[in-house]
Homo-oligomer: A and B are copies of this chain.
Amino acid sequence: MPDTYYIVPQEKHDNLVKKAYLTRGYNADEAAAGARFCSAAAWYGIRTHNAIKALHLDEIFGSKVGRWKPGVKIEKLPSRFAASEIWNGHFKLGQAVAYEAMDTCMKLADKYGVGMVSVDNATHYLWGGGYVMDVALKGYFAYTNCTSATSEVVPFGGRTATLGTNPHSWGFPTQEAIGFPIVIDWATSTVAMGRVQQFKREGKMLPPGCAVDAEGNPTTDPNKAVALLPFGQHKGYGLGLIDELYAAFTGGGLPQIRGTALGDPKEKRASTFFFQVMHPDAIKGNDFALGRTQMQNVKAIIADILGHGNEKCLLPGQPEANWGALSKKYGGLLFTAAEIGELNHLAKECGETPWNVADFKAVTV
């Protein structure tokens, strides 16, 4: 069913978001990174991780509860490794840390072919796909993983949630070949806990393979679901474990109590981030068939994958690219009336005049 959206000028949105971060004590750079991120999320249609979610997370996990530290400086630890940096985030705003980390990775990749930054004492960076897409659009391969703010996923065969929904995000610079970067970006649970709650509200049963009950038995009843299952059984479990292992070697704490006040007060309970960028020239073998350039080869291979009767298949990143094209067409960020209502809570918080939907042009999408 088509929805009605209101076209909000990007600058108007960004100014509000900046002001919201400033009001909560963040400095100008942090507020700018926060706004840049929320703007990209809205532009590409990532409605689960736009400004509403970003500022809400700051409320429940962040500056409002004293966990995230506005204005704090990233501490860059000494490292004997030329292509790697390790940072103590000291609970600086996740979006600011993530953009800076990716910038650093790109500089390292320019020199070494590959560069990486690991961040201990990190907060929440929201939508990992946003960072890898940004880097891919600049011409590089990008990867990031992080441990989630809380643990909601059981290990394969388990009954208690001791893993985060631990996402992975990969970006590939395919825009010259197909018009947009391929962005592979998802959590390692089959669905998010928010989805389970939605099914509960709507009185619907879950698809199989999403959740377990208190005894660890698979359930499709959202009322009995207490924890999420990894997607793809042991394979998704392995992928969720990867984030915990990166975190464990970097400095993360016990996953079961992450984001909580449970257990020994001396245990750490923050997330960690990992970022990596590769230069496409660093993996280029210069022996492409039929004299193709690297990008022509990428184009030919993607065309082959989506050929032969597979023309209706989507590429990861296509939905984001489609929404971005809509935003471009309408010259602004598309929000529903309900979303504008939420954004007006932010406006109120920072003493701004609330927006009136009647002031924006409406479109049906």
Contacts and interface: CB of A to CB of B under 8 A. Distances in A.
B284 A251 contact: yes
A183 to B, nearest CB: 9
Nearest to A302: B248
A318 to B, nearest CB: 11
State the copy count for this chain.
Answer: 2
A214 B182 CA distance: 28
Name which of A83, A87, A252, A267 has the most chain B CB atoms within 10 A of its CB. A83
Interface residues of A, number: 100
A93 interface: no
Interface of A: 77, 79-84, 86-88, 109, 111-116, 118, 120-121, 141, 154-160, 162-163, 170, 172, 174, 182, 184, 186, 190, 216, 231-239, 241-242, 244-256, 264, 266-268, 272, 274, 276, 278-290, 294, 297-298, 300-302, 304-310, 312-316
Contacts of A305: 155, 162-163, 241, 244, 255-256
- 5 closest A-B pairs by beta carbon, nearest first, are A84-B113, A81-B113, A232-B232, A120-B285, A158-B310
Contact of A241 (B242, B268, B316): B316
Contacts of A245: 172, 174, 182, 298, 301
Given A241-B184, A298-B249, A308 B83 contact: no
